Structure 1
Amino acid sequence: MLDMKYLRKNSVEAAERLKARGVDKAQLDELLDLDQNRRQTIQEVETLKAARNEASDKIAYAKRNKQDATQAITEMQSVSAKIKVLDKQQTELDLKVKELAAHLPNLAANDVPVGKDEESNVEQRKWEPITEGQPRIQKTKPEWLKAHYEIGEALGILDFERGAKVSGARFLYYVGDGARLERAVYNFMLDEHRTEGYTEMITPIVVNDEAMFGTGQYPKFQDDAYRVEGLNQTYIPTAEVPLTNYYSGETIPAEDLPIKFTALSPSFRKEAGAAGKDTRGLIRLHQFNKVEMVKFTKPSQSYQELESMTKNAENILQKLALPYHVIMLSTGDMGFSAAKTYDVEVWMPQQEVYREISSVSNTEDFQARRMHITYRDDNEQLQLVHTLNGSGLAVGRTVAAILENYQNEDGSVTIPEVLRPYMQGQEKLVATPHH
């Protein structure tokens, strides 16, 4: 949620900054007009309430002195009727203002590139393993190179066909070594984040509508969510929702900041806007595992913490020796709640492209304003915290990147060294019969 005081005082600047986020000026104008009406109505109600109190005093005085209070009573009844009408008007205006404000995205930080879409994203850095025998970006693609889903099916470790039979398209079974590899990946990630100072959590995977509103998924993206029928509840699209809402409505002791959480959870997304895109494989599923990182910080720390959270995501890829690059998203490609976002994209050799594997964002006070999460500053004044979130990483996409980057000509897949302790020392994935 944006700060209404800022929008009122800086309407020209706000219109310009919202334009960069694809918001028409008319949308802001409508909000500010309604807000002005709302504030005028509040003022009128206050004036009338003062008049009613005055009339009430007159009636009491008249009655005490056994005088006729008819006129004062008529006066008070008339004022009370007007207040009733204006109170109803104010409630309606409050709702309209809240509804319009809820559809405005966050303002981008000053250094975010302005652009309509991903074409304006800016690469920050690239990384490739330097140790001999680790995956590299090849200048020429070997003929035997397969897509991750072909490898998974050939090895008998990913079963998309039975996933579709039981649940529909974009669901799958991980089988045998596939399930063990997925488990190894997320356990490795959680262990890494724990050593980086994150507190490990297991969160609810069903949340209420207030929680979805708090992080900015609702009302705008309600159609992409898996809702629980008949209840105001939703299966989480990311652990960011329950993690960030952990402190909703609370004041965090300033000395506890920054606070860092990590959690593995399943994530559920209808991916309604992605028809026909990445329909095969692990890239765009309706249900997938993700290790999430969330931070609560003072405003002065948040951009430093954004850089360090991005490095935490990169650390996972470096230890897995997977080539990647980091890009800064443009104003038109950023998520609704973000003020600044870095995407970490891993190299997928079969398609010869980088694919997003982590998105790390600073939302500044946008989510905290919706959730009422505060701390007390040095002057004991309540201030909103800044919240940050990032994938550390999307687990299925990491498995896909391992299968493609570590595949061998004979169809086997070498297991990255850091994962071997999680797989009882196993060094390779090879085809094994299963029932």
Structure 2
Amino acid sequence: MPPEKLQALQQQAQQMTLQQQQPVITAQQAMLPQQPTYTQTDPGGLFTSSTPMKPMTPGSLHHPTPGEAKDDKKSGKMQRFLGDTLVGRVARASVQTATSTLRMPAALSPWGDNNPVTLPNVRYRDAVLFTTFAFVGAPLVEGTDTFVSGIFGADSFISEIVSSGAGAIVGSAVLKYGVFQIIEQAIDKGAIEHMLPEEEKMIQTTSVKSLQVGIKHKLMGVDADLRFAGTYPTKNAQACEKGWFCPYLFASARTPQVPRSNDFAIAQFFGPFVGADYAMAHKLVAESTHLLSLCDPDPTHDIQCNRLIILFTAISPYRANMWSTSRRPGCGTLIFHLLDGCPALVIPVTSRAPIVAWSPWTLSQMRGGGSGGAAGGYQPEWQHEQVCEWLDSVIAIEHVKPEVRGRYVDVLGRAVSLIINGALALDKVNKTVLEKVDPERAGIAMFRY
């Protein structure tokens, strides 16, 4: 048989196969269940639980070793070695500035704002090394520390509590709460849309814990795989609040691009993955004052699926209030601010869940100072619906605790309400407690582990 005729027959067979598959897909879509209605509480209300779970201490949590959580992608050793020198950092910053300037009409800057200029990370020791090497006539090879760590290996994640208001809550037990107990108690008392008196104490912020984290990586000039759920046309193309969490990615050498033309319900990051992403989630689980869980949250316990931690947090640069100081060679360094009145939620998730995700609404918008949105401003009920619908698309129902599996929709909705209410209640907090929190860099973030 001539090759041309054989090729034509193969193409006809492929077309017939596709035509047979299309009705099956249509039938599957028709069988999808209707969107559930999530229980939510009044935005002005607060809630908590009176029956604690077994407490977990930070020391009991497991941090992955490089062999357990391997990086998806690594740049070449020589590329990182040259790029991490002082000269290389200046050159890369110049290229990034030019690229961001060209993309500025269509996308936010990699830091998630409207400033296209990317400054190089210049540390104190760089000036000393530059002066010393220039004096003796030797080349500047400040990236040697990254080169050596790439050869001999190093921990993928480092963390340190740089400040804490723990003294303000001395004498009160710091416990991890079971969210299903909240729902059962509320349903029994008929208080789905109202707060229980004892619940108000849980989201009263009295202290802020500042956690300095280092995300070690072996990447150089890699684009972040960002996808957006629930997109809709924006009303303000100059608004940049939706990129508030971009510094986490760009500081760890994963360049995000957030479009200006569309707003979204949830930003999803799918790679490249580094081991520090999981370790970051483990640390947040350990350091959260109140933990609501629809499954076993302990990373040392295998539940046959991944988990997702959802919390309201704030981020800030490493030093001098300049984001360039966070993009250190081989290690993105940021400060996370954890508020004791903003609980965290842990749910089991399927393989469709992203590595990192965030809601575009910031604390500044929650206080009424932001712009955008379907109605031109922030609405708690709308954010609640966005987050719940997205979580329902990734939750692994079969791994939810048996006690709440039958009514997980109510549980999930009330838990998300608690997180949002904790953020809304910050208006009542003394300004001195929140002095380190930037309202434009605070919102709901999510980490898979």
TM-score (norm 2): 0.22
| TM-score, normalising length: structure 1 | 0.22
Q: Which structure has the higher relative contact order (CA within 8 Å, separation 6+)?
A: 2
Q: Which has the larger radius of gyration?
A: 1
